[in-house]
Structure 1
Protein backbone atom coordinates (compact mmCIF):
# COMPACT_ATOMS: atom_id res chain seq x y z
CA UNK A 1 0.00 0.00 0.00
CA UNK A 2 1.56 3.37 -0.98
CA UNK A 3 1.97 5.96 1.72
CA UNK A 4 -0.57 8.82 1.50
CA UNK A 5 2.05 11.48 1.06
CA UNK A 6 0.85 14.11 3.54
CA UNK A 7 3.23 16.95 4.30
CA UNK A 8 4.24 16.84 8.00
CA UNK A 9 3.93 20.64 7.94
CA UNK A 10 0.25 21.54 8.17
CA UNK A 11 0.81 25.15 7.14
CA UNK A 12 3.47 27.83 7.22
CA UNK A 13 3.34 31.57 7.84
CA UNK A 14 6.58 33.02 6.58
CA UNK A 15 9.44 31.24 8.34
CA UNK A 16 7.06 29.77 10.94
CA UNK A 17 6.07 26.19 10.13
CA UNK A 18 3.26 24.54 12.07
CA UNK A 19 3.44 20.75 12.06
CA UNK A 20 0.62 18.25 12.37
CA UNK A 21 2.40 16.85 15.43
CA UNK A 22 2.11 20.18 17.24
CA UNK A 23 -1.53 20.47 16.22
CA UNK A 24 -2.15 16.98 17.60
CA UNK A 25 -0.93 18.15 21.02
CA UNK A 26 -2.99 21.34 20.82
CA UNK A 27 -6.26 19.79 19.66
CA UNK A 28 -5.78 16.76 21.89
CA UNK A 29 -5.66 19.10 24.87
CA UNK A 30 -8.58 21.26 23.72
CA UNK A 31 -10.86 18.35 22.80
CA UNK A 32 -9.86 16.52 25.97
CA UNK A 33 -10.69 19.63 28.04
CA UNK A 34 -14.06 20.00 26.30
CA UNK A 35 -14.94 16.37 26.99
CA UNK A 36 -13.60 16.70 30.52
CA UNK A 37 -15.88 19.71 31.07
CA UNK A 38 -18.90 17.57 30.22
CA UNK A 39 -17.78 14.85 32.60
CA UNK A 40 -17.17 17.28 35.45
CA UNK A 41 -20.49 19.03 34.88
CA UNK A 42 -22.37 15.73 35.11
CA UNK A 43 -22.07 15.43 38.89
CA UNK A 44 -24.19 12.27 39.10
CA UNK A 45 -21.28 10.37 37.55
CA UNK A 46 -19.02 11.05 40.53
CA UNK A 47 -18.73 9.66 44.06
CA UNK A 48 -21.10 11.61 46.33
CA UNK A 49 -21.79 13.87 43.35
CA UNK A 50 -18.40 15.52 43.86
CA UNK A 51 -16.02 15.74 40.87
CA UNK A 52 -12.34 16.44 41.62
CA UNK A 53 -12.86 20.13 40.78
CA UNK A 54 -15.51 22.35 39.22
CA UNK A 55 -16.15 22.09 35.49
CA UNK A 56 -15.02 25.67 34.59
CA UNK A 57 -11.63 24.95 36.21
CA UNK A 58 -10.84 22.50 33.41
CA UNK A 59 -9.65 25.38 31.22
CA UNK A 60 -7.05 26.38 33.83
CA UNK A 61 -6.05 22.75 34.12
CA UNK A 62 -5.68 22.53 30.32
CA UNK A 63 -2.77 24.99 30.56
CA UNK A 64 -1.16 22.82 33.21
CA UNK A 65 -1.75 19.84 30.96
CA UNK A 66 0.14 21.30 28.00
CA UNK A 67 3.17 22.12 30.12
CA UNK A 68 3.11 18.77 31.92
CA UNK A 69 2.86 16.70 28.73
CA UNK A 70 5.61 18.57 26.89
CA UNK A 71 8.02 18.75 29.83
CA UNK A 72 7.29 15.24 31.06
CA UNK A 73 7.42 13.78 27.56
CA UNK A 74 10.76 15.38 26.79
CA UNK A 75 12.35 14.54 30.15
CA UNK A 76 11.05 10.99 29.85
CA UNK A 77 12.59 10.58 26.40
CA UNK A 78 15.94 11.91 27.61
CA UNK A 79 15.99 9.59 30.63
CA UNK A 80 14.44 6.45 29.16
CA UNK A 81 15.54 6.38 25.54
CA UNK A 82 18.81 8.25 24.92
CA UNK A 83 20.44 9.33 28.18
CA UNK A 84 24.11 8.73 27.12
CA UNK A 85 23.68 10.99 24.08
CA UNK A 86 22.11 13.81 26.07
CA UNK A 87 24.71 13.55 28.83
CA UNK A 88 27.34 14.06 26.15
CA UNK A 89 25.31 16.77 24.38
CA UNK A 90 23.23 18.50 27.10
CA UNK A 91 22.26 21.43 24.86
CA UNK A 92 20.36 18.96 22.66
CA UNK A 93 17.93 18.33 25.50
CA UNK A 94 16.18 21.53 24.45
CA UNK A 95 16.10 20.61 20.76
CA UNK A 96 12.57 19.22 20.54
CA UNK A 97 12.71 19.33 16.73
CA UNK A 98 14.33 15.88 16.82
CA UNK A 99 10.93 14.44 17.72
CA UNK A 100 12.09 12.87 20.97
CA UNK A 101 9.02 12.60 23.20
CA UNK A 102 8.04 9.76 25.54
CA UNK A 103 4.41 8.91 26.28
CA UNK A 104 5.38 7.37 29.59
CA UNK A 105 7.19 10.55 30.66
CA UNK A 106 4.29 12.70 29.49
CA UNK A 107 1.88 10.53 31.45
CA UNK A 108 3.91 10.89 34.65
CA UNK A 109 4.04 14.65 34.16
CA UNK A 110 0.29 14.79 33.57
CA UNK A 111 -0.44 12.69 36.65
CA UNK A 112 1.72 14.96 38.81
CA UNK A 113 0.02 18.06 37.41
CA UNK A 114 -3.43 16.56 38.03
CA UNK A 115 -2.61 15.68 41.64
CA UNK A 116 -1.12 19.09 42.46
CA UNK A 117 -3.94 20.99 40.72
CA UNK A 118 -6.68 18.94 42.35
CA UNK A 119 -5.20 19.22 45.82
CA UNK A 120 -5.07 22.99 45.36
CA UNK A 121 -8.84 22.83 44.73
CA UNK A 122 -9.49 20.55 47.70
CA UNK A 123 -10.66 17.63 45.55
CA UNK A 124 -10.01 13.90 45.46
CA UNK A 125 -6.75 13.32 43.59
CA UNK A 126 -7.71 9.78 42.63
CA UNK A 127 -10.78 11.16 40.90
CA UNK A 128 -8.54 13.59 39.00
CA UNK A 129 -6.57 10.60 37.68
CA UNK A 130 -9.89 9.08 36.61
CA UNK A 131 -10.67 12.31 34.77
CA UNK A 132 -7.45 12.40 32.76
CA UNK A 133 -7.79 8.68 32.06
CA UNK A 134 -11.23 9.37 30.59
CA UNK A 135 -9.94 12.01 28.18
CA UNK A 136 -6.34 10.91 27.46
CA UNK A 137 -7.42 8.52 24.73
CA UNK A 138 -8.39 11.50 22.55
CA UNK A 139 -4.85 12.84 22.61
CA UNK A 140 -3.42 9.37 22.06
CA UNK A 141 -5.45 8.90 18.89
CA UNK A 142 -4.44 12.28 17.45
CA UNK A 143 -0.81 11.74 18.43
CA UNK A 144 -0.62 8.37 16.65
CA UNK A 145 -2.19 9.85 13.54
CA UNK A 146 0.51 12.55 13.62
CA UNK A 147 3.17 9.82 13.98
CA UNK A 148 1.77 8.21 10.84
CA UNK A 149 1.82 11.50 8.93
CA UNK A 150 5.42 12.02 10.06
CA UNK A 151 6.27 8.54 8.73
CA UNK A 152 7.86 7.62 12.07
CA UNK A 153 7.59 4.81 14.60
CA UNK A 154 6.54 2.34 11.92
CA UNK A 155 6.60 -1.42 12.26
CA UNK A 156 8.49 -4.42 11.00
CA UNK A 157 8.26 -5.62 7.37
CA UNK A 158 5.03 -7.44 6.53
CA UNK A 159 3.38 -9.21 3.61
CA UNK A 160 -0.13 -8.29 4.79
CA UNK A 161 -2.21 -6.36 2.25
CA UNK A 162 -2.35 -3.25 4.44
CA UNK A 163 1.42 -2.99 4.76
CA UNK A 164 2.59 0.57 4.05
CA UNK A 165 5.74 1.69 2.26
CA UNK A 166 6.92 4.67 4.32
CA UNK A 167 8.95 7.36 2.53
CA UNK A 168 11.44 7.54 5.41
CA UNK A 169 12.18 3.80 5.24
CA UNK A 170 15.61 3.28 3.62
CA UNK A 171 14.62 -0.25 2.58
CA UNK A 172 11.37 0.82 0.94
CA UNK A 173 9.49 -2.34 1.92
CA UNK A 174 5.87 -2.71 3.15
CA UNK A 175 5.70 -2.38 6.93
CA UNK A 176 3.12 -2.69 9.67
CA UNK A 177 1.44 0.72 10.18
CA UNK A 178 1.98 0.33 13.92
CA UNK A 179 0.95 3.95 14.53
CA UNK A 180 -2.53 3.10 13.21
CA UNK A 181 -2.66 -0.06 15.32
CA UNK A 182 -1.86 1.96 18.43
CA UNK A 183 -4.33 4.71 17.54
CA UNK A 184 -7.08 2.13 17.08
CA UNK A 185 -6.34 0.30 20.33
CA UNK A 186 -5.14 3.06 22.67
CA UNK A 187 -7.39 5.71 21.19
CA UNK A 188 -10.66 4.41 19.78
CA UNK A 189 -11.13 1.04 21.52
CA UNK A 190 -9.94 2.21 24.94
CA UNK A 191 -12.11 5.35 24.70
CA UNK A 192 -15.18 3.17 24.06
CA UNK A 193 -14.33 0.83 26.94
CA UNK A 194 -13.90 3.73 29.35
CA UNK A 195 -17.04 5.45 28.05
CA UNK A 196 -19.07 2.32 28.86
CA UNK A 197 -17.40 2.11 32.27
CA UNK A 198 -18.18 5.74 33.15
CA UNK A 199 -21.69 6.05 31.75
CA UNK A 200 -23.11 2.53 32.04
CA UNK A 201 -21.38 1.15 35.14
CA UNK A 202 -20.71 4.56 36.80
CA UNK A 203 -17.06 3.69 37.38
CA UNK A 204 -16.22 7.29 38.31
CA UNK A 205 -18.10 6.72 41.56
CA UNK A 206 -15.22 4.51 42.67
CA UNK A 207 -12.13 6.77 42.69
CA UNK A 208 -9.19 5.14 40.96
CA UNK A 209 -11.19 2.60 38.96
CA UNK A 210 -11.18 4.40 35.61
CA UNK A 211 -7.48 5.22 35.97
CA UNK A 212 -6.86 1.54 36.61
CA UNK A 213 -8.87 0.52 33.54
CA UNK A 214 -6.89 2.97 31.44
CA UNK A 215 -3.58 1.70 32.80
CA UNK A 216 -4.46 -1.91 32.00
CA UNK A 217 -5.88 -1.09 28.57
CA UNK A 218 -2.99 1.13 27.53
CA UNK A 219 -0.30 -1.23 28.77
CA UNK A 220 -1.78 -4.30 27.07
CA UNK A 221 -2.28 -2.37 23.82
CA UNK A 222 1.26 -0.97 23.83
CA UNK A 223 2.86 -4.29 24.74
CA UNK A 224 0.95 -6.06 21.97
CA UNK A 225 1.80 -3.51 19.24
CA UNK A 226 5.46 -3.41 20.26
CA UNK A 227 5.82 -6.96 18.93
CA UNK A 228 5.45 -5.55 15.39
CA UNK A 229 6.72 -2.00 15.97
CA UNK A 230 10.42 -1.36 15.44
CA UNK A 231 12.27 -0.26 18.59
CA UNK A 232 14.21 2.99 18.77
CA UNK A 233 17.39 2.47 16.79
CA UNK A 234 19.69 3.72 19.56
CA UNK A 235 18.31 1.09 21.98
CA UNK A 236 17.21 -1.83 19.83
CA UNK A 237 15.78 -4.96 21.40
CA UNK A 238 16.51 -5.82 25.03
CA UNK A 239 17.06 -9.05 26.96
CA UNK A 240 17.93 -11.46 24.22
CA UNK A 241 16.48 -9.57 21.29
CA UNK A 242 12.73 -9.80 21.86
CA UNK A 243 11.74 -7.16 24.42
CA UNK A 244 11.52 -3.41 23.76
CA UNK A 245 11.88 -0.40 26.03
CA UNK A 246 8.22 0.46 25.36
CA UNK A 247 7.19 -2.92 26.75
CA UNK A 248 9.46 -2.56 29.77
CA UNK A 249 8.02 0.87 30.60
CA UNK A 250 4.46 -0.41 30.11
CA UNK A 251 4.79 -3.23 32.63
CA UNK A 252 4.71 -0.89 35.71
CA UNK A 253 1.64 0.79 34.21
CA UNK A 254 -0.05 -2.60 33.90
CA UNK A 255 0.78 -3.51 37.50
CA UNK A 256 -0.36 -0.08 38.77
CA UNK A 257 -3.57 -0.37 36.75
CA UNK A 258 -4.38 -3.76 38.24
CA UNK A 259 -3.62 -2.40 41.70
CA UNK A 260 -5.95 0.58 41.22
CA UNK A 261 -8.78 -1.64 39.97
CA UNK A 262 -8.41 -3.96 42.95
CA UNK A 263 -8.23 -1.03 45.38
CA UNK A 264 -11.22 0.78 43.89
CA UNK A 265 -13.46 -2.29 43.70
CA UNK A 266 -12.65 -3.65 47.16
CA UNK A 267 -12.53 -0.40 49.12
CA UNK A 268 -15.76 0.22 50.99
CA UNK A 269 -17.57 3.22 49.56
CA UNK A 270 -19.97 5.46 51.43
CA UNK A 271 -22.52 7.87 50.14
CA UNK A 272 -22.73 6.38 46.65
CA UNK A 273 -25.64 7.63 44.63
Structure 2
Protein backbone atom coordinates (compact mmCIF):
# COMPACT_ATOMS: atom_id res chain seq x y z
CA UNK A 1 0.00 0.00 0.00
CA UNK A 2 1.11 3.53 -0.78
CA UNK A 3 -0.09 6.40 1.46
CA UNK A 4 -1.66 9.23 -0.52
CA UNK A 5 0.88 12.07 -0.83
CA UNK A 6 0.12 15.20 1.15
CA UNK A 7 -0.63 17.55 -1.77
CA UNK A 8 -2.89 20.56 -1.41
CA UNK A 9 -5.64 20.80 -4.06
CA UNK A 10 -4.62 24.47 -4.43
CA UNK A 11 -1.49 25.49 -6.31
CA UNK A 12 -1.57 28.69 -4.27
CA UNK A 13 -4.15 30.88 -2.55
CA UNK A 14 -4.25 34.55 -1.65
CA UNK A 15 -6.59 36.76 0.36
CA UNK A 16 -7.73 40.07 -1.12
CA UNK A 17 -10.10 42.38 0.74
CA UNK A 18 -11.07 39.58 3.09
CA UNK A 19 -11.89 37.12 0.28
CA UNK A 20 -9.88 34.02 -0.54
CA UNK A 21 -8.81 33.34 -4.12
CA UNK A 22 -7.10 30.11 -5.12
CA UNK A 23 -5.70 28.50 -8.24
CA UNK A 24 -6.56 24.81 -8.17
CA UNK A 25 -4.57 22.08 -9.89
CA UNK A 26 -7.56 21.12 -12.02
CA UNK A 27 -7.91 24.66 -13.37
CA UNK A 28 -4.17 24.79 -13.99
CA UNK A 29 -4.36 21.49 -15.91
CA UNK A 30 -7.11 22.91 -18.14
CA UNK A 31 -5.11 26.09 -18.73
CA UNK A 32 -1.80 24.35 -19.50
CA UNK A 33 -3.53 21.72 -21.61
CA UNK A 34 -5.24 24.37 -23.74
CA UNK A 35 -2.02 26.34 -24.17
CA UNK A 36 -0.04 23.24 -25.14
CA UNK A 37 -2.79 22.25 -27.55
CA UNK A 38 -2.66 25.72 -29.09
CA UNK A 39 1.15 25.45 -29.43
CA UNK A 40 0.92 22.03 -31.09
CA UNK A 41 -1.68 23.28 -33.57
CA UNK A 42 0.43 26.33 -34.37
CA UNK A 43 3.36 24.01 -35.14
CA UNK A 44 1.20 21.83 -37.38
CA UNK A 45 -0.13 24.81 -39.33
CA UNK A 46 3.40 26.11 -39.96
CA UNK A 47 4.44 22.83 -41.62
CA UNK A 48 2.40 22.42 -44.83
CA UNK A 49 4.49 19.38 -45.83
CA UNK A 50 2.70 17.39 -43.11
CA UNK A 51 -0.60 18.00 -44.89
CA UNK A 52 0.62 17.12 -48.37
CA UNK A 53 -0.05 20.69 -49.48
CA UNK A 54 -1.29 23.89 -47.87
CA UNK A 55 -2.19 23.75 -44.17
CA UNK A 56 -5.95 24.08 -43.54
CA UNK A 57 -5.60 27.15 -41.29
CA UNK A 58 -3.29 30.09 -40.77
CA UNK A 59 -1.83 30.77 -37.30
CA UNK A 60 -4.21 33.66 -36.61
CA UNK A 61 -7.21 31.37 -36.95
CA UNK A 62 -5.71 28.98 -34.37
CA UNK A 63 -5.81 31.75 -31.76
CA UNK A 64 -9.47 32.48 -32.59
CA UNK A 65 -10.31 28.78 -32.44
CA UNK A 66 -8.94 28.54 -28.88
CA UNK A 67 -11.81 30.69 -27.59
CA UNK A 68 -14.37 28.45 -29.28
CA UNK A 69 -12.75 25.35 -27.81
CA UNK A 70 -12.80 26.75 -24.27
CA UNK A 71 -16.53 27.48 -24.57
CA UNK A 72 -17.18 24.02 -26.04
CA UNK A 73 -15.21 22.23 -23.30
CA UNK A 74 -16.86 24.07 -20.40
CA UNK A 75 -20.46 24.05 -21.66
CA UNK A 76 -20.30 20.54 -23.10
CA UNK A 77 -18.47 19.09 -20.11
CA UNK A 78 -20.91 20.57 -17.62
CA UNK A 79 -24.10 19.77 -19.54
CA UNK A 80 -22.80 16.27 -20.23
CA UNK A 81 -22.31 15.68 -16.51
CA UNK A 82 -25.80 17.02 -15.77
CA UNK A 83 -27.51 14.89 -18.43
CA UNK A 84 -25.47 11.68 -18.18
CA UNK A 85 -24.88 11.39 -14.44
CA UNK A 86 -27.28 13.48 -12.29
CA UNK A 87 -30.30 14.60 -14.38
CA UNK A 88 -32.81 14.16 -11.55
CA UNK A 89 -30.78 16.23 -9.09
CA UNK A 90 -30.21 19.13 -11.47
CA UNK A 91 -33.81 19.06 -12.68
CA UNK A 92 -34.80 19.66 -9.07
CA UNK A 93 -31.97 22.21 -8.53
CA UNK A 94 -31.46 24.01 -11.89
CA UNK A 95 -29.49 26.89 -10.36
CA UNK A 96 -26.76 24.39 -9.43
CA UNK A 97 -25.99 23.76 -13.11
CA UNK A 98 -23.97 26.96 -13.48
CA UNK A 99 -21.80 26.25 -10.42
CA UNK A 100 -18.97 24.71 -12.40
CA UNK A 101 -16.44 25.64 -9.71
CA UNK A 102 -18.00 23.03 -7.40
CA UNK A 103 -16.91 20.23 -9.77
CA UNK A 104 -18.77 17.89 -12.06
CA UNK A 105 -17.52 17.68 -15.66
CA UNK A 106 -17.97 14.88 -18.19
CA UNK A 107 -15.31 14.10 -20.80
CA UNK A 108 -17.88 12.71 -23.21
CA UNK A 109 -19.97 15.88 -22.88
CA UNK A 110 -16.88 18.06 -23.29
CA UNK A 111 -15.92 16.06 -26.38
CA UNK A 112 -19.33 16.66 -27.95
CA UNK A 113 -19.08 20.35 -27.05
CA UNK A 114 -15.70 20.64 -28.79
CA UNK A 115 -17.02 18.79 -31.85
CA UNK A 116 -19.93 21.21 -32.16
CA UNK A 117 -17.78 24.31 -31.55
CA UNK A 118 -15.14 23.18 -34.06
CA UNK A 119 -17.75 22.35 -36.69
CA UNK A 120 -19.38 25.78 -36.39
CA UNK A 121 -15.96 27.47 -36.51
CA UNK A 122 -14.96 25.49 -39.60
CA UNK A 123 -18.18 26.35 -41.43
CA UNK A 124 -17.89 30.04 -40.57
CA UNK A 125 -14.28 30.22 -41.78
CA UNK A 126 -14.35 27.91 -44.79
CA UNK A 127 -12.03 25.34 -43.19
CA UNK A 128 -12.35 21.65 -44.13
CA UNK A 129 -13.93 20.16 -40.98
CA UNK A 130 -12.01 16.86 -41.13
CA UNK A 131 -8.68 18.67 -41.45
CA UNK A 132 -9.51 20.80 -38.43
CA UNK A 133 -10.65 17.73 -36.49
CA UNK A 134 -7.37 15.95 -37.27
CA UNK A 135 -5.36 18.87 -35.90
CA UNK A 136 -7.47 18.97 -32.73
CA UNK A 137 -7.07 15.21 -32.29
CA UNK A 138 -3.27 15.50 -32.31
CA UNK A 139 -3.33 18.42 -29.86
CA UNK A 140 -5.76 16.97 -27.29
CA UNK A 141 -4.16 13.96 -25.50
CA UNK A 142 -1.58 15.96 -23.55
CA UNK A 143 -4.35 18.03 -21.99
CA UNK A 144 -6.27 14.86 -21.12
CA UNK A 145 -3.23 13.44 -19.37
CA UNK A 146 -2.75 16.60 -17.33
CA UNK A 147 -6.41 16.57 -16.35
CA UNK A 148 -6.13 13.00 -15.04
CA UNK A 149 -3.05 13.90 -13.01
CA UNK A 150 -5.06 16.75 -11.49
CA UNK A 151 -7.80 14.24 -10.64
CA UNK A 152 -5.19 12.22 -8.74
CA UNK A 153 -3.91 15.29 -6.86
CA UNK A 154 -7.50 16.13 -5.92
CA UNK A 155 -7.98 12.54 -4.64
CA UNK A 156 -11.08 12.09 -6.82
CA UNK A 157 -12.26 9.51 -9.36
CA UNK A 158 -10.17 6.83 -7.66
CA UNK A 159 -10.28 3.15 -8.52
CA UNK A 160 -11.73 0.00 -7.06
CA UNK A 161 -10.20 -1.64 -3.97
CA UNK A 162 -7.02 -3.62 -4.61
CA UNK A 163 -4.33 -5.51 -2.73
CA UNK A 164 -1.69 -4.85 -5.39
CA UNK A 165 1.53 -3.25 -4.07
CA UNK A 166 0.86 0.04 -5.89
CA UNK A 167 -2.60 0.47 -4.40
CA UNK A 168 -3.03 3.96 -2.94
CA UNK A 169 -4.72 4.80 0.36
CA UNK A 170 -6.88 7.74 -0.73
CA UNK A 171 -8.21 10.00 2.02
CA UNK A 172 -11.87 10.59 2.77
CA UNK A 173 -14.77 8.64 4.18
CA UNK A 174 -16.01 7.48 0.76
CA UNK A 175 -12.60 6.22 -0.34
CA UNK A 176 -12.16 4.38 2.96
CA UNK A 177 -15.61 2.80 3.01
CA UNK A 178 -14.01 -0.59 2.32
CA UNK A 179 -11.51 -0.30 5.19
CA UNK A 180 -11.47 -2.68 8.13
CA UNK A 181 -10.49 -2.15 11.74
CA UNK A 182 -7.14 -3.78 11.02
CA UNK A 183 -6.27 -2.26 7.65
CA UNK A 184 -7.08 0.85 5.59
CA UNK A 185 -8.49 0.48 2.09
CA UNK A 186 -6.08 0.75 -0.84
CA UNK A 187 -7.44 1.50 -4.30
CA UNK A 188 -6.24 1.44 -7.89
CA UNK A 189 -4.79 4.84 -8.86
CA UNK A 190 -7.00 4.70 -11.94
CA UNK A 191 -6.46 8.40 -12.63
CA UNK A 192 -2.80 7.61 -13.37
CA UNK A 193 -3.79 4.64 -15.54
CA UNK A 194 -5.91 7.04 -17.59
CA UNK A 195 -3.15 9.65 -17.73
CA UNK A 196 -0.79 6.99 -19.14
CA UNK A 197 -3.25 5.59 -21.71
CA UNK A 198 -5.35 8.61 -22.73
CA UNK A 199 -2.50 11.07 -22.37
CA UNK A 200 0.99 9.70 -22.91
CA UNK A 201 0.35 6.61 -25.05
CA UNK A 202 -2.33 8.18 -27.25
CA UNK A 203 -0.19 11.29 -27.78
CA UNK A 204 2.80 9.16 -28.83
CA UNK A 205 0.67 7.15 -31.27
CA UNK A 206 -0.70 10.32 -32.86
CA UNK A 207 2.72 12.00 -33.08
CA UNK A 208 4.05 8.85 -34.77
CA UNK A 209 1.07 8.91 -37.15
CA UNK A 210 1.79 12.54 -38.09
CA UNK A 211 5.43 11.71 -38.84
CA UNK A 212 4.24 8.84 -41.04
CA UNK A 213 2.11 11.19 -43.14
CA UNK A 214 -1.18 10.52 -41.36
CA UNK A 215 -2.43 14.08 -41.85
CA UNK A 216 -2.49 13.52 -45.62
CA UNK A 217 -5.52 11.28 -45.13
CA UNK A 218 -8.36 13.48 -43.79
CA UNK A 219 -10.10 11.91 -40.81
CA UNK A 220 -7.38 9.36 -39.98
CA UNK A 221 -5.95 11.16 -36.94
CA UNK A 222 -9.47 11.92 -35.74
CA UNK A 223 -10.42 8.25 -36.02
CA UNK A 224 -7.31 7.09 -34.16
CA UNK A 225 -7.96 9.59 -31.37
CA UNK A 226 -11.65 8.78 -30.94
CA UNK A 227 -11.17 5.01 -31.09
CA UNK A 228 -8.03 5.18 -28.94
CA UNK A 229 -9.69 7.22 -26.22
CA UNK A 230 -12.78 5.02 -26.22
CA UNK A 231 -10.69 1.86 -25.93
CA UNK A 232 -8.47 3.32 -23.19
CA UNK A 233 -11.46 4.50 -21.16
CA UNK A 234 -13.25 1.16 -21.63
CA UNK A 235 -10.21 -0.71 -20.26
CA UNK A 236 -9.64 1.62 -17.30
CA UNK A 237 -13.30 1.30 -16.26
CA UNK A 238 -12.50 -2.25 -15.10
CA UNK A 239 -10.29 -0.66 -12.42
CA UNK A 240 -12.11 2.62 -11.78
CA UNK A 241 -14.75 2.93 -9.07
CA UNK A 242 -18.16 3.47 -10.63
CA UNK A 243 -20.15 6.54 -9.69
CA UNK A 244 -21.79 6.07 -6.30
CA UNK A 245 -25.29 6.65 -7.65
CA UNK A 246 -25.02 3.48 -9.74
CA UNK A 247 -23.78 1.24 -6.91
CA UNK A 248 -26.23 -0.83 -4.88
CA UNK A 249 -25.86 -3.89 -2.63
CA UNK A 250 -27.03 -6.04 -5.56
CA UNK A 251 -24.85 -4.17 -8.06
CA UNK A 252 -21.53 -3.46 -6.29
CA UNK A 253 -19.63 -2.69 -9.52
CA UNK A 254 -22.11 -0.03 -10.63
CA UNK A 255 -23.08 -1.60 -13.95
CA UNK A 256 -25.81 0.27 -15.84
CA UNK A 257 -26.35 -2.44 -18.47
CA UNK A 258 -26.12 -6.20 -18.08
CA UNK A 259 -25.77 -8.20 -14.89
CA UNK A 260 -23.88 -7.29 -11.72
CA UNK A 261 -20.87 -9.33 -12.89
CA UNK A 262 -20.94 -9.35 -16.69
CA UNK A 263 -22.12 -5.83 -17.35
CA UNK A 264 -20.85 -2.39 -18.38
CA UNK A 265 -20.49 0.85 -16.46
CA UNK A 266 -21.73 4.23 -17.64
CA UNK A 267 -18.20 5.13 -18.74
CA UNK A 268 -17.98 1.96 -20.84
CA UNK A 269 -21.43 2.49 -22.29
CA UNK A 270 -20.46 5.98 -23.43
CA UNK A 271 -17.07 4.79 -24.75
CA UNK A 272 -18.26 1.92 -26.94
CA UNK A 273 -19.82 4.24 -29.57
CA UNK A 274 -16.55 6.19 -29.64
CA UNK A 275 -14.61 3.04 -30.55
CA UNK A 276 -17.05 2.20 -33.35
CA UNK A 277 -17.17 5.76 -34.70
CA UNK A 278 -13.37 6.03 -34.56
CA UNK A 279 -12.95 2.76 -36.47
CA UNK A 280 -15.40 3.99 -39.12
CA UNK A 281 -13.32 7.16 -39.62
CA UNK A 282 -10.11 5.10 -39.83
CA UNK A 283 -11.55 2.74 -42.44
CA UNK A 284 -12.97 5.63 -44.47
CA UNK A 285 -9.67 7.54 -44.37
CA UNK A 286 -7.63 4.48 -45.35
CA UNK A 287 -9.83 3.90 -48.39
CA UNK A 288 -9.29 7.42 -49.69
CA UNK A 289 -6.11 8.32 -51.59
CA UNK A 290 -3.44 10.33 -49.84
CA UNK A 291 -3.23 14.04 -50.42
CA UNK A 292 -0.57 15.26 -52.87
CA UNK A 293 2.99 14.84 -51.71
CA UNK A 294 4.92 18.08 -51.00
In our comparison, the structure showing a higher alpha carbon Rg is 2
Trace 1:1-273 onto structure 2 (pairs within 5 A): 1-14=2-15, 15-47=20-52, 49-168=53-172, 169-171=175-177, 172-199=184-211, 201-235=212-246, 236-239=254-257, 240-241=259-260, 242-269=263-290, 271-273=292-294
The Cα of 1:137 is off from its aligned counterpart by 0.3
Q: Which has the higher helix share?
A: 1
Distance in 1 separating the partners of 2:56 and 2:165: 47
Q: C-alpha deviations, 1:233-254, integer Å up to 9, x for none?
A: 1133212223111101111111
Count of residue pairs brought into register by the alignment: 271
Q: Which consecutive residues of structure 2, in runs of 5 or more, have no partner in the other structure?
A: 178-183, 247-253
Question: Could you tell me the TM-score, scaled by structure 1's length?
Answer: 0.96
Distance in 1 separating the partners of 2:48 and 2:24: 37
The Cα of 1:13 is off from its aligned counterpart by 2.1
Contact residue 197 and residue 210 of structure 1 kept, 8 A: yes
Contact residue 51 and residue 123 of structure 1 kept, 8 A: no
Q: Which consecutive residues of structure 1, in runs of 5 or more, have no partner in the other structure?
A: none
Contact residue 52 and residue 118 of structure 1 kept, 8 A: no
| Moved >4 Å (runs of 4+) | none
Question: Could you tell me the TM-score, scaled by structure 2's length?
Answer: 0.89
The Cα of 1:97 is off from its aligned counterpart by 3.1
SS in 2 for 1:35: helix
Distance in 1 separating the partners of 2:122 and 2:209: 22
Distance in 2 separating the partners of 1:120 and 1:269: 26
